[in-house]
Amino acid sequence: MKLDLVIDDLAPAGEGVGRAGPRAVFVPFTAPGDRVLAEAPTVPEGDAPVHATLAALGSAGEGRVPPPCSHFGVDAPGTPPSPHPGRDRACGGCEWLHVAYPLQLAAKARTLREALRRIGRLEPGSHEELAPLAAPSPLRYRSRAKFHLDRGSGRLAYFRRRSHEPVRLHECHLLVPGLDALREAMGPALAEAGLAPVEVALEWSDHAGGGSAWLKLPEAGPAVRRRAEALVGSVPGLGGVVLASGGEGAGPASAPPVVVGDPVLRHLRDPGRPGAGLQRSRPDVFQQANRGANALLVAEALALLDPGPDDAVLELFSGAGNFTAPLAGRARSVAAVEVAGPALDLARADLADAGPAGGRVRFYAGDALRIAAALGRERGPDAPRFRLALLDPPREGAKGAGPLLRDLAVERAVYVSCDPATFARDLRACAAAGLRVARVRAVDMFPQTHHVEAVALLVRD
């Protein structure tokens, strides 16, 4: 079915949105103001939304900008032709490379606002909504990324949007130049080394001038390790590899990772301020991919929490120490909680280099919420007391954090999230436990995509 539409909005999942009567129609690769012909394979009864494809661009809207990447978009009448015919299109790595950046920021702020209203039951005006923080660089910002190896071409690939069809990459305008060059070299080098990983993660440090890799393989026996050693020796700038072995295809690794060479990188904590220090990273350990935007996120979280020299801070889900050292530089003490593993090892090594601030941190290895609950049960003059808390949970959030913060008598808390839905759910629970949501801000960690980071200040009334 063909539908004539005017695109008037951006959906939270990344598509453009138009309307056919009462029905919302979602069309990828469209921008606000576009007049398009969309094609829908099926149209459900009633006024349920329709997911369509772009059949033709009638006229470009005010929100459309020329995308710089030859892999972006689809070949449709009215759209600019690819500068490199024959290259794979419809790449799923970006969604909004054709959308003006201010419109991206506005859409992300709206997504966050709606999640807080619908899921968190936090109406606009009940808290201060700060203007979203723009990324310092809307392009060439990623220092790490995941890929798949297309064995037929010997190239690293992303998947096409909502499919498992490979987009065999020749360029990616989200990657910092060093990482893009490493990506280009790795595909042929993997084939030459006789390695066929199920998944590949690459990381690059501009400070170190080098990179590292994580390879998911069916097994990592002695022969595979020798091939990985040859790989490290053959790729310029590749310092080390982490090998994770597991089943062919999906599923977690079934054995401890194997380290070949030195995959630990050091990044500037703040690319604009070398004096802010360095942070260790490894490609198999979570780390924010956008170093410039991450520096803004850390600064915003600390400004909201406002720790002083007399404050004890509880940091839950401390990871590889993204907030730990900055907190230790301002607070009397920090109790940092993270599950045991390489993330905790990296954070401990960073704090060992941090001078007097490193002595203010005590690490707890284990489940963050269980340890917080145990700390809340302690009694007596030596029981820990925390006026402040900072939480940076994974995407699934920190269900149950509200009652825990109440039991610990925390006065102020900052919650950092990469998922608006679980963020809103947990803020609602915190509010029910007596912590008022005072301020919220969106932070753009991933320009050209719909993903949005957020940070909130919670205050005990």
Residue 41 binned pLDDT confidence (cut-offs 50, 70, 90): confident
**Cα–Cα distance for residue pair 120/111, rounded to 1 Å:** 13
250 band by pLDDT with thresholds 50, 70 and 90: very low
Predicted confidence (pLDDT) per residue in 320-341, tens digit: 999 999 999 999 999 999 998 8
How confident is residue 461, by pLDDT bands cut at 50, 70 and 90? confident
Assess whether the region 1-88 and the region 144-268 belong to the same CATH fold.
yes
Query: Which tens digits make up the pLDDT trace of 133-187?
Result: 999 999 999 999 999 999 999 999 999 988 899 999 999 999 999 999 999 999 9
Domain spans, the chain: 1-88, 108-136+290-460, 144-268
Four-way CATH pick for 144-268: 3.40.50.2300, 3.30.1490.20, 2.40.50.1070, 2.40.160.60? 2.40.50.1070
Give, in degrees to the nearest 5, the angle at Cα 76 between 72 and 82.
Answer: 45
Going along 74-135, which residue ranges are E strands? 128-133
DSSP string, 17-63: EEEETTEEEEETT--TT-EEEEE-S---STT--EE-EEEEEEE--TT
What would the pLDDT profile of 92-121 be if each residue is shown by its tens digit?
999 999 999 999 999 999 999 999 999 999
Q: Which residues are catalytic?
A: 418
Q: Which ranges in 329-400 belong to alpha helices (H)? A: 342-352, 368-377
Share of the chain above pLDDT 70, in %: 98
CA-CA distance, 429 to 383, in Å (whole number)?
A: 26
Give the Cβ contact number of residue 278 at 10 Å: 18
For the structural domain made of 108-136+290-460, what CATH number should be given?
A: 3.40.50.150
Q: What is the CATH code of the structural domain delimited by 1-88?
A: 2.40.50.140
- Residue-wise pLDDT for 256-310, tens only, equals 899 999 999 999 999 988 888 999 999 999 999 999 999 999 999 999 999 999 9
Within 81-151, strands assigned E span 128-133, 144-150
Alpha-carbon distance 313 to 91, whole Å? 43
**DSSP code of 90?**
S
pLDDT at residue 249, rounded to an integer: 47
> What backbone phi and psi angles, to 5 degrees, belong to 314?
-100, 120
